Chains A and B, each alone.
Chain A
Amino acid sequence: MKSVEPALAEGTALVARPSSGGNEIVRVLKERRSALAGLVIVGFFVAMAVFGPALAPYSWTQQSGPVYAPPSSEHWLGTDDSGVDVLSEMLYGGRTSLIVGFAAAFVAMIVGGGIGVVAGYAGGGTDNALMRTTDYFLVIPDLVLMIVVATVFGPSLSHVILVIGLLLWTSTARIVRSQVKSIRERVYVRRARSLGASHRRIVAQHILPQVAPLLIATTVLTIAYAIFDESALAFLGVGVPGVSWGTMLERAFERTAMTQGAWWAFVPPGLAIGLVVIGCYLMGQAIEDALNPRLRVAHLSIKSWRFRTTPNVAEGDAS
């Protein structure tokens, strides 16, 4: 699933103050409700991924009940087509899906961030060459390339992670490059350059801290895409081996759970993926909004200013 976000994010106005990246993010998360909600959701699933399997009531691979049993007090989410407890599958599968999501996003962050910094900082020919490459990558439909690569190289956890990561780096690269370019021109960076600081030092001390918040915001959004892509790959039969939310959906489809009315076999993983994506989206968007304040008053709207007709009350109405 390719997003058209790169086009939106490129060239957005950037905050001028050299603030500490970490503080920005913490502040955003504390102040904005949507960011907090996102954090809670993602946090919940991360906790689930970490502790879930230990808390699973049954095995996620062995049969523990009848086939396609509806939710009951023994099996809170029912059982799947092989009689395996769905809840246990969800807990373990969540771990797999989240690992793929986070790892792939991490790969994308390193590659995209690296390329973005190099392109933005170096400028000129290097920049052009890197951007042309990025453009070509952008044009290739991710899903299809992922399928092709996974088919050719064979599916495995690391392959899937690499394939997803190596296709999602492009929007990160563009966004990072934009920001690096503008940071490079700032007074304190130019001063450092004129004082003879080495490129490496400038990048490490001045550029990276400034880029960090935006990079984190984009990476959070990338996690969402990665998890989404994992489920798509699984659906096509080239996903990770083992249990993940994506494979749960695929199996439910293969065994026609929908027409058998066994909604518990696919609704939980589907909703879980949706929730994690929403959580990541809310967090990532909130951070990005905070970093690129586009506080625009609409000059036209359905409502209008009000005229006060009663006599002017004294100053005490500023409440």
Chain B
Amino acid sequence: MSVLEANDLNVWFDLPHGGRLHAVQGVSFNVKEGERLGLVGESGCGKTTALLALMGLLPPSAEVAGSVTVNGEEILAGGEDAMRPHRWTDVAMVFQGAMNALNPVKTVGSQIEEPMKFHDTSSGAAAEKEAGDLLELVGLPASAATRYPHEFSGGMRQRAAIAMALACNPKVLLADEPTTALDVMVQAQILQLLLSLTRDLGLALVLVTHDLPLVTQVCERAIVMYAGRVAESGAVDTLFHDPRHPYTRLLFAATPDLSGERDVASIPGAPPRLDRPILGCPFEPRCDRAFDHCKVETPSLLEVGAAHRAACHLNDGSLERPSDREAAR
């Protein structure tokens, strides 16, 4: 049973000078208990927006449609006010670069206890003890509770942020680029922490990142997003060995440079603008296997294997392609 399910999620942003940006277009996915799902794509593909939409953390310029359910209960449709009780208690989030995600003028401990008090899950001395326990769970000393964020290094702050995220025993943890801006050694530690938390606590994890090696290390399944849509989804191994969308293939095949970073921007071209409707497949201009039909019709997600889907006309056997014509001759 899915612990978190997003169905046909759409997000539009009003632009300052008129017009709208369709940042997330019909995205659906789900996570089960203890499962780790990756959300990957270039910057601007809508993965962060989709993640924020799961918790309703969007600005007033946004309009949202679709459904988000936690253990079957719909949490998005009621708007900001209805969402509030579910935040942190059902779904919690760890942000990119905990530099500023923690309030600099409050102690770490008080920030961990804060949601406990306001969601009525604990208070007073009990809350203090729980905060201390959470800190130890993430590998920090309990005494860290009386310190201020600036007294910690980036990695330690991120751990504190994770401890804070667990304060109300959420079922799902969303992580938006949690290890960017941390150095490699620390990255590995944080990832290890997240792995053990999902195993030990049965926590479901949705990890947004542009870093592919990370996804292959940590996640079991992944969603590849492009231009606000899902390009392909499936088990990470399958995506790596049998990609059914040219974008996925190019992503995973991009040559790593000496520092081990894969530069996704090494695919030539740029993603399409999202403030106007797109005719046909959004990836077509950059695709190395595009054919005529790709310009005409937008591909929908097709089942291409066990729990493996891709939005690409190449998987559609009913379509005639130039290579088929050649093979037939």
Contacts and interface: CB of A to CB of B under 8 A. Distances in A.
Query: Do A and B interact directly, with beta carbons closer than 8 Å?
Result: yes
Interface of A: 297-299, 301, 303-309, 312, 315-319
Contacts of B278: 315
28 contacts: A299-B57, A299-B59, A301-B59, A301-B60, A304-B60, A304-B79, A304-B81, A305-B56, A305-B58, A305-B61, A305-B62, A305-B79, A306-B62, A307-B65, A307-B77, A307-B79, A308-B64, A312-B65, A315-B277, A315-B278, A317-B12, A318-B12, A318-B19, A318-B21, A318-B22, A318-B274, A318-B275, A319-B20
Interface residues of B, number: 31
A44 B10 CA distance: 50
B77 A309 contact: yes
Nearest to B20: A318
B277 A316 contact: yes
B22 A307 contact: no
A303 B57 CA distance: 13
B80 A304 contact: yes
Contacts of B66: 312
Given A305-B64, A318-B276, A319-B19, A312 B8 contact: yes
Q: Which 6 A-B pairs have the closest CB atoms?
A: A303-B60, A308-B65, A305-B62, A304-B80, A315-B277, A305-B58
B297 interface: no
Contacts of B276: 318
A307 B66 CA distance: 9
Nearest to A308: B65
Contact of A318 (B57, B59, B277): B277
A280 to B, nearest CB: 26
Given A306-B63, A307-B65, A312-B66, 9 more contacts: A301-B59, A304-B81, A305-B59, A305-B61, A307-B64, A308-B10, A315-B278, A318-B19, A318-B21
A304 B63 CA distance: 9
Nearest to A312: B65
A308 B66 CA distance: 8
Interface in B1-50: 8, 10, 12, 19-22, 26
A298 B66 CA distance: 24
Nearest to A306: B63
Contacts of B19: 318-319
Contacts of A306: 62-64, 79
Contacts of B274: 318
B76 interface: yes
